[in-house]
Structure formats: C-alpha cells, structure tokens
Amino acid sequence: MAKTALFLAACALLCDFGCAKPSAFQAPVSKFHDATTSVLTSTKTYYTALNKSERDHYIDQQLAARKDIRLSEIDETQLLTSEDIAARLKALDVLSQYSELLYQLANSTAPSTIQSKATALQKSVTGVSDEINKLGGPQDAQFKSATSAVFPIVGQVLQAFIDSKIEDALKNAIKTGTKPVNDLIGAIETDMIVAYERKRNFLSEQRSAAVQQYERDLQSKVEQGKLQGDAQLISTTEDDWEVFQTASPTVGLEAMKQADDALEKFVKTQKPSITDFSSFISAMEAFASAAQRVSTAVHQLEKTN
Amino acid sequence: MTQLDVIKMIGDVLTNIDVVTGSLQSNDPNLQKLMDLRVVLDDRQTQLSRQVFNDNTQTFQAASQQLATVNTNIQGSITAINNIASVIGNVSTFLDSVTTFMTSIGAFL
C-alpha cells in the first residue's frame, strides 16, 4: 500500500546516493506485498465468518433450550449488516489492488499497464467511497472516518500515476499516506478484535458442551460407538481451540503496522547504512512470518468449521 | 480501559466459566446455575459488541476501572472447582458489576 510506495521512494533516495535501482530491493518489496495480501485475506475470512458465528450461536442456544428458531431473531443476531460487510470487503479490495499496483511499479518496466490499472482502480475508489458514505450503523463511524481520510490520498496517488508523475506520487504517498493508512488498519483491527472475541466465546462454549455431552452419554451408558463419537468431538473441538489461539487477525494487522513504521523509518534515514538496511529487511521478514502464521491458522479453522 | 478491553475481560470470564461447566458432573445442580449466568453474561458481551461508546469520557473510565477492580478481586477463585459455591458467587458479582458498568455508560437506553 502506501508503505510500499515509501519503500520505493527509499529505493529512489538510495539511487540519489549514486546507485542504480538495486535488484536486491525486490525481495523485501515482494515479502511486504505477499504478507499484506495474506493479512488482508485472513481479515476477509473473519469478516465473512462474523455473522455465521453469531447465527450458529443463536441456533445452538435455541436448540439447547428447546426453544423456537425464528428467522427474524436470526436477523437480529447479526453484528454487521450485509451492506456493512460488503463495504468493508470492497475497501480491503481497494487496499489490496493498490498494494498490487505499487508492487508492479517496483517490478515492472511497463508503466502503460500500470496506468490503465490505476485508472480502473481510481474508479473503484470513487464507487466504494460512495457506498461507504451511505452506511449509517453504530459500528460504522470509525470505519467511515478512516476511509474518508485515506481514499482521497489513494486517489491523488493514483492520479499522479495516471499522469505519469510517478515520483510525485511516491513523494505524496510518503508525505500524506502513512497515518491515514494506519488509521484504516486500526479501524479494521477494531472490527477484528470484536469478531475474534465473539468467536472465542462460541468456541469456548463448544468445548464445554462437547465434554458435557460425553458426560451425559457416559452416565446414560450409551453404546460404545456413540461414546467414541462424543470423545472424537471433544478431540476435534480441542484441536480447534488450540489453533484458534494463534489465529487472531489482529496479530497480522499489528505486524503490518510495524512493517509500515519500519518502512517510514527507513525512508527518513538520510544515508541508510548496512545496519539500517538489515533492520529494514528483518522487519519485513517478521511481518511476513506473522502473516504466514495467522494465515495458516485461519485457513485451518476455515477447513474445520 | 477501552470498550474493547471490557469485551475481552468479559470473554476471559466466559472462558473460565466454560472450564468449570466442562468439569462438573452432568447431574450437578450448580451446572445449570452457572450456565444461566453464562447466558446473561454472553448477552452483555453481545450488547457491548453491537454498540460504540466513547471510552474517553470520565464516566466510562471510572465505571470500567470499578469493573476491572472486581475482575482482579475474583481472579484465580473463578475456576476453583472444589468450591463451586464461591465460583457462582464470584461470577454473580462480576455479572452485577458488568450490569452496573453498562448502566453507567448508557448501554441499556
């Protein structure tokens, strides 16, 4: 995202000190890009699963209490409306495409392709902004505020790309892009903390329910096959619980912010030393590692649920 | 404290309750009592998750601090399975404190 632009500008700064665009820089840019994509994908998975968790919880509760299940009540369980979720997923898409574009800029010698993509993305930004402005739910305020700050800046950077003012675009991204992008990540993080806590609540309840079922069947002296099934459910639930502890998307988002900070610090360093460059690479690798860990856990949970 | 901190704190107590309910005999009369308390506490977390409060106000900070104090006081004893009466008492105290906190910040308006 904007931070990738910061990095590219860092490359440009280094070039000012007499070096050509070093191919060595492509590796950390690539890591940053891949990790960003991975974190955004994990975040999307959480957004998509958010309402499902609430629905399933309601159905389980009604079943346990032997109460009616009503569609109207299912609708009331949803934390975010379908419009809320759709708008957030589209905002994530914009960030992802923006990252992709900047990545291509670092790795491509075909600016005309980038220009046409920038034009298409600029249209998307306008459309998504309009959609987000229409949201009026209680959970939307922070998200709306964050996107209204970052999207105009993304738009300006894209316009500069379109006008072939690449350097201006990068400088603009450095000067104005850091805080708004981090604020948008922060707004997404808030949603993710709530989503993670609700999921933790439901999984924890399932752990207890699985053990209680086994206990009831044991007391009722059910056949061995049924008891084995109960024991298998306990085992599976415990596996899920264990994986879940490492599946917090906020870990990836926090790592993303730290990688952003490292990029900004690197850019602000007038004459980067080998040590500065090593620290910068380490930060990108730490981000990639956190993103990979979260992605693996989220993917594993997705398969089991 | 922030609103998210309170949501997490309630989540910690819920997971502790589940450890206890998952350790009781199915015919233990305390099991249903704890599960009933859990339903209400879960409902409180749901309500907090659906609304956004300004956690920078003095009212929010004072109320959340009181809740944090209660939470600290019951730490450790909330999973004491060998003293289930104490567990139920502590969960009830925490639930009352959450209700007071939410009343203070206007969550039930």
pLDDT in tens, A276-292: 888 888 888 888 898 88
Q: What is the pLDDT of residues A144-179, one digit of tens each?
A: 888 888 888 778 778 877 776 766 666 666 566 667
Total-model pTM = 0.82
| Cβ pair B42, B59 in contact under 8 A | no
pLDDT at A260 (0 to 100): 74
Would you place residue A128 in the very low, low, confident or very high pLDDT band (cuts 50, 70, 90)?
confident
> Which member of A79, A197, A210 has the closest CB to residue B8?
A197
Q: Do A201 and B7 touch (CB under 8 A)?
A: no
Minimum CA–CA partner of A219 in chain B:
B26
Minimum CA–CA partner of A217 in chain B:
B26
Q: Shortest Cα distance from A43 to chain B (angstroms)?
A: 18
Residue keyed to tokens 């007038």? A270
**Which of the pair, A269 or A245, is modelled with greater confidence?**
A245
Minimum CA–CA partner of A234 in chain B:
B22
| Cβ pair A114, A101 in contact under 8 A | yes
- Indicate the range of A94-108, A151-165, A232-246, A263-277 predicted with least confidence: A94-108
Would you place residue A81 in the very low, low, confident or very high pLDDT band (cuts 50, 70, 90)?
confident
| Cβ pair A94, A59 in contact under 8 A | no
Q: Shortest Cα distance from B24 to chain A (angstroms)?
A: 8
Q: What is the pLDDT of residues A18-42, one digit of tens each?
A: 343 445 556 776 788 888 888 888 8
User: Which chain B residues are within 8 Å of A230, Cβ to Cβ?
Assistant: none
User: Which chain A residues are within 8 Å of B11, Cβ to Cβ?
Assistant: 197, 200-201
Q: Shortest Cα distance from A18 to chain B (angstroms)?
A: 49
Q: Shortest Cα distance from B18 to chain A (angstroms)?
A: 5
- Rounded distance between C-alpha atoms, residue B57 and residue B83, angstroms: 39
Average pLDDT of the residues in B17-41 = 93
- Indicate the range of A8-12, A197-201, B43-47, B69-73 predicted with least confidence: A8-12
For A297, the enclosing helix (H) or strand (E) is helix A274-304
- Rounded distance between C-alpha atoms, residue A159 and residue A166, angstroms: 10
What's the Cα-to-Cα distance from B39 to each of A65, A92, A247, B19, B42, rounded to whole Å? 11, 34, 25, 15, 5
Per-domain boundaries in chain A: 2-304
A interface residues, B as partner, C-beta within 8 Å: 61, 79, 138-139, 141-142, 190, 193-194, 197-198, 200-201, 204-205, 207-208, 210-212, 215-216, 219
pLDDT at A268 (0 to 100): 66
- Closest among A157, A72, A73 to A117, alpha carbons compared: A157
Q: Looking at the predicted structure, is the pLDDT value of residue A2 above 70?
A: no
pLDDT at B7 (0 to 100): 97
Q: What is the pLDDT of residues A221-237, one digit of tens each?
A: 999 999 999 999 999 99
DSSP A137: -
| Cβ pair B77, B90 in contact under 8 A | yes
Q: Do A215 and B25 touch (CB under 8 A)?
A: yes
B interface residues, A as partner, C-beta within 8 Å: 4, 7-8, 11, 14-15, 18-19, 21-23, 25-27, 31, 38-39, 42, 45-46, 49-52
Q: What is the pLDDT of residues B47-100, one digit of tens each?
A: 999 888 999 999 999 999 999 999 999 988 888 888 999 999 999 999 999 999
User: Which chain A residues are within 8 Å of B39, Cβ to Cβ?
Assistant: 61
Would you place residue A103 in the very low, low, confident or very high pLDDT band (cuts 50, 70, 90)?
low
Q: Shortest Cα distance from B44 to chain A (angstroms)?
A: 12
pLDDT at A137 (0 to 100): 78
Q: Do A200 and B11 touch (CB under 8 A)?
A: yes
Q: Do B26 and A79 touch (CB under 8 A)?
A: no
Q: Do B18 and A200 touch (CB under 8 A)?
A: no
pLDDT at A176 (0 to 100): 66
Interface predicted TM-score of the whole assembly (ipTM), two decimals: 0.95
Burial A194-229 (b: 16+ CB within 10 A, else e): bbbbbbbbebbbbbbbbbbbbbebeeeeeeeeebee
Minimum CA–CA partner of B48 in chain A:
A194
Q: Do A139 and B52 touch (CB under 8 A)?
A: yes
The token duo for A50 is 């958010």
| Percentage above 90 pLDDT, chain A | 20
pLDDT at A135 (0 to 100): 86
Q: What is the mean pLDDT of chain A?
A: 80
